[in-house]
A and B are shown apart, each in its own frame.
Chain A
Amino acid sequence: MWCIDAPHVNKRINMNTYAEGRLEDKGFTIRYAESGTGQPVIVFPAGDGLRFDDIAATLAAHYRVIVLDVPDSGLGNRQDVAEHIGQALTRIGVESFSVIGMSHGTTRALAQATSTPEHVHRLVLVSPLLASGQQPQLEARLSDVKAPTLVLVGTRDRSGSREAGHLCRSRIPTCHLLLVYDTGQAIASDRREACLSPIVEFLEQGEGFIVSRESQLIRP
């Protein structure tokens, strides 16, 4: 357990301050951007390209954040890619890590959680895109996720994230679904603190994040 000063989501590194590198394993290579120290957090962003966005920058004030640039195609099937990523992370000293998947990146994040369950500490899916029937193999493996999981869905999101959230909640054994009020698919853009606070609490406390630690005492 490590503690983060409140308000934890107002502290972040400069978004341009990160190191770039390559993860390599048996001929497999992908680029990554890294910043921060502490418990490792692997981020599968929403799209292609190496971007260290606001969420990554905020988390990097407290964690060792590694943002992966995993092309959508050309690397083989997702489970194999996840195996390579697990091996390659071990080579750079990352044995146990949490995983965050954003929108289209959630399928990669889920593949990582099911392929290398022994390495994944916590799993966070933000606006998951898992339209029912499109990825039957992955859906069938949701019950294999061992890590405590948090799924965030915006109440104005009409992209299919809500249905994907229900699917995750019903099939992943330790999954918590969190509806973020008055946000669309871009939850962090719509309500930054409402997106980041529960993520940080979940990374810190796992399933214990459902227990309130706020005092109800008004005047001692």
Chain B
Amino acid sequence: MQVGFLNPISYTGTPTTTSWPVPPELCDRTAASETMRRAREQLCLADTLGFDWVSVSEHHYSPRILAPSPMIYAGAMTEVVKKAKIAVLGPLLPLSNPVRVAEELAMLDAMSEGRVMVLFLRGTANEILTYRSNPAEAQAVTQEGIDLILHAWTEPQPFGWEGRYFNYRTVSVWPRTVQDPHPPVFSSGNSPESVQFCASRRLNLALSFIRLPDIKQRVELYKEAAAKEGWEPTARNVLYRFWAHVAESDEVAERNTSRFKVHMGLARHMSNAVRESLRESPPEKLEFDRPFLCGSPSTVIEQIGALREAGVGMMDIAFVWPGLSYEQQCESMQRFATDVLPQVREL
């Protein structure tokens, strides 16, 4: 089992509304700076503790994860993180120029001496509003964007692109990626259609914040689709992103996390007209009453065993949960690294 640390870049100021977008006037300027300092500190800790990668994801207009530009953050990571891979998981393609994304990732790969891995995403339902992209086209735009980026990294000659959603007449990415032919690429498999796409392009599968039965179902679908394409993925091709909290006992872990639930649906405060257009997942799929991994080290090892049985071989873990202090997050990370990680390496 390989394990990455998802840097939460959690806003250190006073907690604000859970609606979206959050008014900028609620952002304390000093707290924004302190947020970045702490996030950097956690990156260094994760690198020291032996996590295989440190990751950053793209989010907008809210204090939930302060990373509207994952590329800027990843650039800083290459200077701070010495051993772990730099995981950009991931850029939101409906909000991006894919050629620019290809260029920036190639640059990061050179800066990190070939340590980049990447997951291309379409974003949570609300985030499609950031630059006013069309939610009905988000999946198709994302898929074409991925194809374009793969060509941008592998075409030996300058080329033009006559796409459905992207049109370029001159693409010629410099530098080339250090990794040949390109960094490991993950694609979201949170919907059955996206799993098919992922298998058809022989990309790695990334799942996030879904429940164990859904993970199993998606992995089986991925394997079936891959078999039809003539290849066989292993657990190392399947990544799952989730929250974890490890404490000295199950009781303490329960006490630390049971005061709050997490609702992922940031569009739920919007009007019916907006929510229907955004096609946010049903509320029951978006509410979580505890982290996916939660308990003492021995309990968490058992939970990881179940995840491995479901076909997951890569875990991207955020050690955050509402109500946990920064010190508790770091303690949980350290406990995971010392008491759990060595036990699950060989899974």
Contact = CB atoms under 8 A, between A and B. Distances in A.
Interface stretch (A42-50, A59-67, A74-82, A172-180): A172-180
Given A155-B147, A209-B169, A177 B160 contact: yes
B156 A180 contact: no
Nearest to A211: B169
Nearest to A210: B169
Contacts of A169: 157-159
Contacts of A191: 162, 164
A208 B264 CA distance: 48
Interface residues of B, number: 17
A195 B163 CA distance: 10
Interface string A144-185: 000000001001000000000110011000001111111000
Contacts of B174: none
A206 interface: no
A176 B163 contact: no
A103 B205 CA distance: 36
A102 B163 CA distance: 20
Contacts of B156: 166, 170
Nearest to B148: A181
Q: Is the interface of A mostly helix, strand, loop or mixed?
A: mixed
Nearest to A212: B169
B144 interface: yes
A194 interface: yes
Given A155-B151, A209-B169, A210-B169, A178 B162 contact: yes
A181 B163 contact: yes
Given A155-B147, A155-B151, A209-B169, A181 B159 contact: no
Contacts of A182: 144, 163-164
Contacts of A177: 157-160
Given A155-B147, A155-B151, A178 B159 contact: yes
Interface residues of A, number: 22
A114 B157 CA distance: 22
Contact of B161 (A165, A179, A209): A179
A210 B167 CA distance: 11
B272 interface: no
Interface string A184-210: 000000010011011000000000011
Interface in B29-85: none
Contact of B170 (A152, A195, A210): A210
Contacts of B147: 155, 181
B160 A178 contact: yes
B155 to A, nearest CB: 8
A192 to B, nearest CB: 12
B157 A179 contact: no
A180 B166 CA distance: 11
B144 A181 contact: yes
Contacts of B151: 155, 179
Contacts of B161: 178-179, 181
Interface string B186-224: 000000000000000000000000000000000000000
B196 to A, nearest CB: 15
A182 B169 CA distance: 17
B158 A198 contact: no
Contacts of A210: 160, 169-170
Interface in B137-182: 144, 147-148, 151, 155-164, 166, 169-170
A170 B172 CA distance: 13
B169 A179 contact: no
A155 B155 CA distance: 11
Interface of B: 144, 147-148, 151, 155-164, 166, 169-170
Given A176-B169, A182-B144, 9 more contacts: A155-B147, A166-B156, A177-B157, A178-B169, A179-B160, A181-B148, A181-B166, A194-B162, A195-B162
- Pick the 8 closest A-B CB pairs, nearest first: A210-B169, A169-B157, A181-B163, A178-B160, A177-B159, A180-B162, A194-B162, A166-B157
